[in-house]
Amino acid sequence: MTAPVLDSYWSAQDTTPPAIEAALRQLVADRHRENEGYIAARALNMVTIVDAEYSGEIANRLRRVGRYHASRTVVCSVEPGRTTIDARAMVASEADPRPGKFSLMRETVVVSVGEQHLPHLARIVDPLIVTDLKTIVWSPHGHPEAVDSLVDPEGGARPLGECVLWDSAGEPEAHVALDRVCDLAACCEVVDLAWLRVTPWRERLAAHFDPADRRPELRTLSKISVRHGADSLISGLLLVGWLCERLGWRTEQLTRHGDLLRGRARGRRGEVELRLEPVGDMRVPGLSGLEIRSDLGTMFALARGEGGLRARRIERKGDERTWTVLGASRGEPGILGEGIRHALIPDPTYPPALAAARRMIV
């Protein structure tokens, strides 16, 4: 990606949100006055809450998301013991505008706050976001009280953030992570990176069973097996939950057999065996493969491969075929970019899949 041009910069110590907002407004106006080709992006606000000592790592991740940048990013950098607010505001564009063209400006505000500010973070952030734009909240280092302040404020106040960016991967306890994300989903939209890692698999399954002569096979499925990265059980649960919900199966609690989770879902025609198995050799979070069998004796499997997903199908008479379903890997930076983009495209199939996933695990 092209490195952004840092156009304007402002900083202050022991400052206030109105002063930061005024400075930001001035920076944008100055740039526009200098050249009308500078246009402020106005697609999405993003509020990021990070531990100060890891803020560089988060900044790097945000820089690598490709084209899907928020228009205004407010980074709340949490320093233990801090009592005052320091701030830096930056306006950057990817290039100087060419004649007759425009160049987008994106604004970033880094606000240094202390833990004491977190329960009331909305009061600090409110003046800093662009009114009427959707706001997504990302808190990769926890700080649930700050997130709640923004998306689920006490006393029935109107929330500042409509959407939370969340990543279930790596959460040590799946049921705790699912409880938390269910709570969030009850009060706002959730964009779960664990769900987005499953998207290509969902698309391939939908495509495979799309031909009219193959759709009836969906009613005969008898076994679903999913292999997932060691840190990506929730991606596996979401995929199975989505299948169960879309196909009208009732999910039940799975049982643990060592690392393996097994159980059943109940459909109109009988039971469907479910199996989730971790694999240890994955370098990135997400799924490693899946296999779907039917009562008819057919089998369809997908696995990670070069240039796309490797597909394998066995027909009821035993004929077997393999092929590649084309698609480039988005990589983890691309997944984060997709997460930011999906703040503007709510997925109505996620909440029911999440609910189904939650029922499968204690």
Partner 1 sequence: MTASGATEPNPLAAALERLPVHATTLVIFGATGDLARRKLLPALYNLAHEGALPEHFALVGSSRGKLSDEAFRDLAVSAVREFSRRPPDEKVLAKLFEAARYVAGPFDDDTVYERLAAVLPELDEQAGRRLNRCFYLSTAPEFFPVIVKALGVHNLDDAEDAEVRVIIEKPFGTRLAEARELNEIVLSVFEERQVFRIDHYLGKETVQNVLALRFANGMFEPLWNRNYIDHVQITASEDIGIGTRAGYYDKAGALRDLVQNHMLQLLTLLCMEPPVDFSADEVRDEKVKVLRAIHAPSADDIPKMAVRAQYSPGNAAGVEVPGYLEEAGVPASSNTETYAALRLEVDNWRWAGVPMFLRTGKRLARKVTEIAVILKPVPHLAFREDGAKGVRPNVLVLTVQPNEGVSLSIGAKIPGTRMAIRPVQMEFLYGSAFMSQSPEAYERLILDAMRGDATLFTRNDEVEAQWRICDPIVAAWEAAPGPLPQYEAGSQGPAEGDALLDGDRTWRMI
The SS3 of residue 301 is strand
In the bound complex, what is the minimum distance in angstroms from residue 210's beta carbon to partner 1?
A: 4
In the bound complex, what is the minimum distance in angstroms from residue 123's beta carbon to partner 1?
A: 28
**Three-state helix/strand/coil letters over 258-286:** CCEEEEEEEECCEEEEEEEEEECCCCCCC
Instruction: For residues 219 and 311, give the distance between their C-alpha atoms in angstroms, rounded to a whole number.
Output: 21
In the bound complex, what is the minimum distance in angstroms from residue 65's beta carbon to partner 1?
A: 10
Instruction: For residues 121 and 74, give the distance between their C-alpha atoms in angstroms, rounded to a whole number.
Output: 11
Contact between 344 and partner 1 by CB under 8 A: the answer reads yes
Q: Give the one residue of 4, 153, 200, 229 binding partner 1; rule: CB under 8 A.
A: 200
In the bound complex, what is the minimum distance in angstroms from residue 126's beta carbon to partner 1?
A: 22
Contact between 71 and partner 1 by CB under 8 A: the answer reads yes
- Nearest CA to 286 among 166, 200, 189? 200
Q: What is the CA radius of gyration of the chain?
A: 23
* 263, 252 contact by CB (below 8 A): yes
59: which residues sit within 8 A by CB, 6+ positions away?
A: 75
Contact between 321 and partner 1 by CB under 8 A: the answer reads yes
Contact between 43 and partner 1 by CB under 8 A: the answer reads yes
Contact between 100 and partner 1 by CB under 8 A: the answer reads yes
In the bound complex, what is the minimum distance in angstroms from residue 53's beta carbon to partner 1?
A: 30
Of 17 and 37, the one with the shorter C-beta distance to partner 1 is 37
Contact between 29 and partner 1 by CB under 8 A: the answer reads no
Contact between 134 and partner 1 by CB under 8 A: the answer reads no
Pairing type for strands 72-78 and 103-113 reads parallel
Contact between 68 and partner 1 by CB under 8 A: the answer reads yes
Q: How many residues bind partner 1 (CB under 8 A)?
A: 57
64: which residues sit within 8 A by CB, 6+ positions away?
A: 1, 333, 336
Q: Which stretch binds partner 1 (CB under 8 A): 1-9, 13-21, 38-46, 48-56?
A: 38-46
Contact between 308 and partner 1 by CB under 8 A: the answer reads yes
Contact between 3 and partner 1 by CB under 8 A: the answer reads no
In the bound complex, what is the minimum distance in angstroms from residue 342's beta carbon to partner 1?
A: 9
In the bound complex, what is the minimum distance in angstroms from residue 68's beta carbon to partner 1?
A: 5
Secondary structure (DSSP) of 169-227:
TT-S-HHHHHHHHHHHHHHSEEEEHHHHTTHHHHHHHHHHT-STTTGGGGGGEEEEEEE
Contact between 327 and partner 1 by CB under 8 A: the answer reads yes
Site string for partner 1, 257-276 (x = CB under 8 A): --------------------
In the bound complex, what is the minimum distance in angstroms from residue 84's beta carbon to partner 1?
A: 34
Q: Give the one residue of 12, 19, 22, 39 binding partner 1; rule: CB under 8 A.
A: 39
CA 338, chain centre distance (Å):
7
Phi, psi of 25 (to 5 degrees): -60, -40
The tokens of 58 are what? 């988060």
- Stretch 205-244 residues interacting with partner 1 (CB under 8 A): 205-213, 215-216, 218, 243
Contact between 323 and partner 1 by CB under 8 A: the answer reads yes
Instruction: For residues 249 and 357, give the distance between their C-alpha atoms in angstroms, rounded to a whole number.
Output: 12
Looking at beta carbons, which pairs linking 19-22 to residues 24 or more positions away fall under 8 Å? 19/87, 20/87, 20/89, 20/109, 20/111, 20/127, 20/128, 21/127, 21/128
Of 37 and 144, the one with the shorter C-beta distance to partner 1 is 37
- Nearest CA to 313 among 230, 208, 189? 208
The residues binding partner 1 (CB under 8 A) are: 39-44, 67-69, 71, 100-102, 104, 199-200, 202-213, 215-216, 218, 243, 246-248, 306-308, 311, 313, 315, 319, 321, 323-329, 340-341, 344-345, 347-349
